Amino acid sequence: MGYGHLDRPAQFLKGVGPKRADLLKKLSIGTARDLLHHLPRRYDDASTITPIAGLDSGMEVTVRGRVRSCGVIQTRSSLRVFQAVLQDESGMITCAWPGQPWLERKIREGDQLLATGTVRFYHGRQLHPREFSLLARKGRRGDAEEGTPEGTIFVSYPATEELPQWILRRIYEENLDWLLEHAPEEEYLPDTLRERLGLVGLGEAFRRLHRPTSLEEPEEGRRRLAFDELFFLQLVQGLVRHRESVREPGIEHRRTNRIVKPLHDALPFALTGAQARVLREILDDMTSTRRMNRFLQGDVGSGKTLVALFAMAVAVEGGHQAALMAPTELLAEQHALRLRERFEPLEVPVALLTGSVTGRAREELLEGLREGRTPLVVGTHALIQEGVDFARLGLVVVDEQHRFGVRQRMALGEGRRGPKPDVLIMSATPIPRSLALVLYGELDLSILDELPPGRSPVRTLLRRPADRAEIHAGIERELAAGRQAYLVYPLVEESEKVDLRAATGEFERLRDEVFPGRRLGLLHGQLPSEEKDRVMRAFRDGELDLLVATTVIEVGIDVPNATVMVIEHAERFGLSQLHQLRGRVGRGAERAWCVLVSELAGAARERLEIFAGTTDGFEIAREDLRIRGQGDLFGDRQHGRDPHLRFADLARDEELVLMARDLARTVVDRDPELERSEHAPLRELLETRHAERFRMWKVG
Ligand code: ADP
Ligand code: MG
């Protein structure tokens, strides 16, 4: 391929030149290829033409007609308006383009025009075209009456002031034939495979995108290009993963059932189908020579911790140590408590290492880990600090992955010779499968999509601020029955001070006037972390009845006695955030409530209704993705996770993500160094078109 046609600098395209090339750069168009990849912003269907006689004010129409007369008029406000009177078989209408006198040079008497826009009433009916196209012009080739507009689709591009739509379109008109002729040079999919995947060829994809003959065609073009994006992304992830597995073999854990069996026998319930499946996936990884790098997703309460517990048991019975890392001291304590309940009867000790463990106790703990006497340890970041060393660390479980950077996660078990420990990352923040695959493609994915039986779902109610008295009465009823409640206020960054003042004021009012006999606590982001910990602990231990919070309450914290969650200004939270908050209640046997307080107007209400109607975290995450778009979800920039997707839309392309992943896997399994001749085009595309990713693979 080398220096292909599509690498031609935009400057040398027809109708461009150095000046326009500079303007194109502002649209990130530097080469012929970039022009092909410039994604149209909208498509208008001109295949339904309205007869001019039938036009009425307010209508959005497309008309076709001949220009009877035209010219620039000057209005009183000194705005120059280009006007053209358009006539078809049924009648006439004036088309007006305020502020575009230069159209004088473009549109002439006798031209056949197709115009799309809104009909206004302004000294009679007027059409204000937002789009038009010159179908035919009287002239050399005679009276070109034939310009058939059937099926004409207007393509509009993202443009700039200096490089307006009509110039861009002209550039496309003049160059598209040539571009489409050369587009297939970068085809890497053999026809049979491409057809099996149901994708159009590259040339055809760009034709459908830039010169569609129906409103359905652009989508087919987009799908093809989205597939390419998702394929190259996942191909590199797969290549990197393969290389790492070669460089860093894992531990082959041996199963003896010495611990797993009694652990299993002691369970008062059966594993859910999803738990059994996921556990099998994990154990297959652990007992293979491959290093496990697995991401376990599951809704709050789906039983992730229990699965992790079995994985740790396997590591320990095979003679290794296992570590569980949690984002806060409180969560680490909670985990330690639960692990001890299950492991200590089997005489497997569990250590707890946090920042609060100091002095002599810390020395002894570290020695136990270093000499291999301590098989299980739970901790915070303290686990990855200098001086913490393991004799035979075989498994690392990381809870609530999004709080840790990728680097921190990998730090456990690095810098040591020999096979690296297996890694299992758990997250209780469901994200759609498509997003998980793209964001965490270098990991294997396990999903717990089933809750243990017998949970009564949290009931969710929508209320208005005016209903506050009723809400407070509801809280009071629960408190009187000995339960606890949360009340959450949003804290928006830009107005943090104002919000904090509001929440603090509200807290004082609630404490002094609404619930004078109750014990209230306030939790907000500006408290020092020891203070936050102290308040959370007091709530957990039942020393507080009502917790007023402006920060998202500790993810994963378990206070089974809390039965009410009231969320003020619910419309200000994302759906996934609301889901996290709601997950704080309903953890005990008692029936739990979640009350969303909001003015409830229009789209905001609809969103909240969707939320109130389901407790399925994955469904909510999909909805959130659909509503907010994927841009927001890549807010993970500090983790270097911005996959730059231009064509792919993760809210609807899950199937494409999976197809692309399967193909990427097939290629990597068969040819992990891309050495085979049939993969030469792929390799070349990687090297040239995806240079950054290519380096990641080669050097990374
Ligand atoms: P997660 O970590 O996903 O939030 P946990 O593992 O903490 O979920 O489980 C939540 C609760 O459900 C715990 O009290 C746990 O003992 C219980 N549990 C887990 N698995 C099952 C099951 N298969 N059947 C019944 N209860 C279960
Ligand atoms: Mg292994």
Q: In what order do the strands lie in the sheet with 520-523?
A: 459-463, 593-597, 562-567, 484-488, 546-549, 520-523
Residues with a CB atom less than 6 Å from ligand 1: 269, 271-272, 275, 298, 300-306, 428, 452
Note whether 475 and 434 are same-domain residues.
no
* Non-local CB neighbours of 47 within 8 Å, separated by 6+ positions: 149, 150, 151, 152, 153, 214
CA of 288 to the centre of ligand 2 (A): 5
Domain co-membership, 387 together with 417: yes
Residue 402 is predicted with a pLDDT of 57
CA distance 502 to 491: 10
Q: Whose CA is nearest to atom 19 of ligand 1?
A: 303
Residues 6+ apart with CB under 8 A from 216: none
DSSP character for 256?
Answer: -
Environment class of 611 (CB within 10 Å of its CB; exposed 0-12, middle 13-18, buried 19+): buried
Does residue 105 sit within a domain?
Answer: yes
Ligand 1: which of 271, 306, 450 to mutate, judged by most atoms within 8 Å of the beta carbon? 306
Same domain, 583 and 481: yes
Atom of ligand 1 nearest to the CA of 308: 6
Closest protein CA for atom 20 of ligand 1: 303
- What number of residues does the chain have? 700
Ligand 2 center to 325 CA (angstroms): 19
Q: 443 and 464 share a domain?
A: no
Distance 14 CA to ligand 1 centre (A): 66
Q: Where are the alpha helices (DSSP H) in 554-653?
A: 575-582, 602-612, 617-628, 630-633
* Ligand located closest to 420 CA: 2
Q: What is the 3-state secondary structure (H, E, C) of 343-404?
A: HHHHCCCEEEECCCCCHHHHHHHHHHHHCCCCCEEEECHHHHCCCCCCCCEEEEEEECHHHC
User: Which ligand has its closest atom nearest to the C-alpha of 448?
Assistant: 1
> What mean pLDDT do residues 46-60 have?
85
User: Is the model's pLDDT at 492 over the cut of 70?
Assistant: no
Choosing from 404, 421, 448, the residue where a domain stops is: 448
State in Å, rounded, how far the first CA of the chain is from the last one: 25
Residue 629 vs residue 374, higher pLDDT: 374
Question: Which ligand does the CA of 282 lie closest to?
Answer: 2
pLDDT band per the 50, 70, 90 thresholds, residue 627: confident
Q: Are residues 392 and 492 in the same domain?
A: no
pLDDT digits (tens, 9 = 90+) for 109-123: 988 888 889 999 887
- Domain range spanning residue 323? 260-448
Q: Which atom of ligand 1 is nearest to the CA of 306?
A: 6
CA of 408 to the centre of ligand 2 (A): 20
Residues of the chain above pLDDT 90, percent = 55
Q: How far is CA 501 from CA 404, 489, 516, 521, in A?
A: 30, 11, 21, 16
CA–centroid distance, residue 340 to ligand 1 (Å): 15
Q: What pLDDT, on a 0 to 100 scale, did the predictor assign at position 329?
A: 87
Do the beta carbons of residue 612 and residue 460 sit within 8 Å?
Answer: yes
Residue nearest to atom 10 of ligand 1 (CA): 301
Does residue 472 fall inside a structural domain?
yes
Q: Which ligand does the CA of 254 lie closest to?
A: 2
- Is there a single domain that holds both residue 346 and residue 416? yes
What is the number of the ligand closest to the CA of 271?
1
Q: Shortest CA distance to 242 belongs to which of 693, 664, 678, 681?
A: 664
State yes or no: pLDDT of 344 exceeds 90. Answer: yes
Compute φ and ψ for 108, nearest 5 degrees: -125, 160
Lowest mean pLDDT among 61-75, 303-317, 629-643: 629-643
Residue 552: per-residue pLDDT = 64
Q: Identify whether 21 is part of a domain.
A: no
Q: Count other C-beta atoms under 10 Å from residue 546's C-beta.
A: 26
- The preferred substitution site among 305, 307, 340, 579 for testing ligand 1, maximizing ligand atoms within 8 Å of CB, is 305
Q: How far apart are CA 356 and CA 333, in angstroms?
A: 11
Amino acid identity for residue 153 in this structure: I
Measured in angstroms, how far is the CA atom of residue 405 from the centroid of ligand 1? Answer: 26
CA-nearest residue, atom 26 of ligand 1: 452
Instruction: Kindly give the number of the ligand 1 atom that is closest to the alpha carbon of 309.
Output: 6
Q: Which ligand is nearest to the CA of 326?
A: 1
Please indicate, yes or no, if residue 264 is contained in any of the structural domains.
yes
Model confidence at 277: pLDDT above 70: yes
Q: What are phi and psi of 120, to 5 degrees?
A: -115, 160
Query: Of 544, 664, 597, whose CA–CA distance to 232 is shortest?
Result: 664
Q: What is the number of the ligand 1 atom nearest to the C-alpha of 271? A: 23
Average pLDDT over residues 3-23: 91
Q: What is the pLDDT of residue 148?
A: 44
Ligand nearest to the CA of 269: 1
Residue minimizing CA distance to atom 17 of ligand 1: 303
Of the listed ranges 203-217, 228-242, 423-437, the least confidently predicted one is 423-437
**Residue 155 has what pLDDT?**
82
Q: Residue 302 C-alpha to ligand 1 middle, in angstroms? A: 6
How does DSSP classify residue 151?
Answer: T
Between 122-131, 524-533, 646-655, the lowest mean confidence (pLDDT) is in: 524-533
- One-letter amino acid at 111 equals D
Exposed / middle / buried, residue 149 (Cβ in 10 Å: 0-12, 13-18, 19+): middle
Ligand 1 centre to CA of 304 (Å) is 7
- pLDDT tier, 631 (very low <50, low <70, confident <90, very high otherwise): low
- Give the alpha-carbon dihedral of 688, 690, 692, 694, to 10 degrees: -80
Q: What is the structure's pLDDT at 401?
A: 60
Lowest mean pLDDT among 84-98, 132-146, 522-536: 132-146
569 within 8 A of 549, measured Cβ to Cβ: no
Whose Cα sits closest to atom 9 in ligand 1? 303
- Going from the Cα of 452 to the center of ligand 1, the distance in angstroms, rounded, reads 7
Residue nearest to atom 5 of ligand 1 (CA): 303
- Indicate if the pLDDT at residue 630 is higher than 80: no
Ligand nearest to the CA of 264: 1
Ordered alpha helix ranges (H), 481-616: 496-509, 529-540, 575-582, 602-612
For residue 422, list its beta bridge partners. Answer: 395
pLDDT of residue 300: 81
Residues 92 and 142 both lie in one domain? yes
In a domain, 627, yes or no: no
**What pLDDT, on a 0 to 100 scale, did the predictor assign at position 22?**
95
> 46: how many CB neighbours lie within 10 A of its CB?
23
* Nearest Cα to Cα of residue 616 among 445, 439, 450: 450
In a domain, 184, yes or no: no
Q: In whole angstroms, what is the distance from residue 468 CA to residue 33 CA?
A: 59
Rounded to the nearest angstrom, the distance between the alpha carbon of 506 and the centre of ligand 1 is 36
For residue 117, report the distance from its CA to the centre of ligand 1, in Å: 59
How confident is the model over 421-445, as a mean pLDDT?
86
Question: What integer pLDDT is reported at residue 1 of this predicted model?
Answer: 43
Provide the domain count of the chain: 3
CA of 450 to the centre of ligand 1 (A): 11
- Nearest-Å Rg of the Cα atoms of the chain is 32
**Nearest to residue 693, comparing CAs of 224, 235, 230, 244?**
235
* Confidence check: pLDDT of 635 > 70: no
Region 317-342 average pLDDT:
93
- The answer to whether the CB of 303 falls within 8 A of the CB of 272 is yes
Residue 223's contacts (CB-CB under 8 Å, 6 or more residues apart) are 199, 200, 653, 656
User: Are 367 and 432 part of one and the same domain?
Assistant: yes
pLDDT digits (tens, 9 = 90+) for 547-581: 999 876 766 678 889 999 999 989 888 888 899 89
User: Do 497 and 540 belong together in one domain?
Assistant: yes
Give me ligand 1 centre to Cα 134, in Å.
67
Protein residue closest via CA to atom 4 of ligand 1: 301
The beta-carbon contacts of 641-646 under 8 Å, at least 24 apart in sequence, are 641/439, 643/233, 643/438, 643/439, 645/226, 645/229, 645/230, 645/438, 646/37, 646/39, 646/225, 646/229
- Residue 94 above 50 pLDDT? yes
Q: What span, in angstroms and rounded, lies between the C-alpha atoms of 220 and 418?
A: 49
Query: Does residue 543 sit in the same domain as residue 567?
Result: yes
Q: Which of 138, 156, 174 is the last residue of a domain?
A: 156
Q: Where residue 89 sits, what CATH number does that domain have?
A: 2.40.50.140
Q: Which of 571, 591, 614 is the last residue of a domain?
A: 614
Identify the residue with better confidence: 666 or 690: 666
Question: Which ligand lies nearest the alpha carbon of 617?
Answer: 1
Residue 248 within a domain: no
Residue nearest to atom 27 of ligand 1 (CA): 452
Question: Considering the chain, what percentage of its residues have pLDDT values greater than 70?
Answer: 90
| Residue 213: alpha-carbon gap to chain centroid | 32
Give the model confidence (pLDDT) of 442-480 as tens digits.
788 999 989 888 777 899 999 999 999 999 999 999 999
Measured in angstroms, how far is the CA atom of residue 339 from the centroid of ligand 1?
Answer: 13
Ligand 1: residue whose CA is nearest its atom 25: 452
Ligand 2 centroid – CA 3 distance (Å): 44
What is the CA(372)–ligand 1 centre distance, in A? 30
Instruction: Look at residue 160 and tell me whether its pLDDT is greater than 60.
Output: yes
Mean pLDDT within 375-402: 88
How far apart CA 312 and CA 457 sit, in angstroms, is: 30
Three-state DSSP state, 92: strand
**φ and ψ at residue 635, rounded to 5 degrees:** -65, 10
The answer on 552 and 438 residing in a single domain is: no
The answer on pLDDT for 691 being more than 70 is: yes
pLDDT digits (tens, 9 = 90+) for 360-382: 999 999 999 999 999 999 999 88
- Domain-embedded: residue 238: no
Mean pLDDT over the full length of the chain: 87
346 CA distance to ligand 1 middle (Å): 20
Asked whether residue 381 falls in the same domain as residue 507, the answer is no
The CATH number assigned to the domain holding 590 equals 3.40.50.300
Residue of minimum CA distance from atom 23 in ligand 1: 271
Helix, strand, coil % over all residues of the chain, rounded to 5 = 45, 20, 35
pLDDT of residue 141: 46
595-612 average pLDDT score? 87
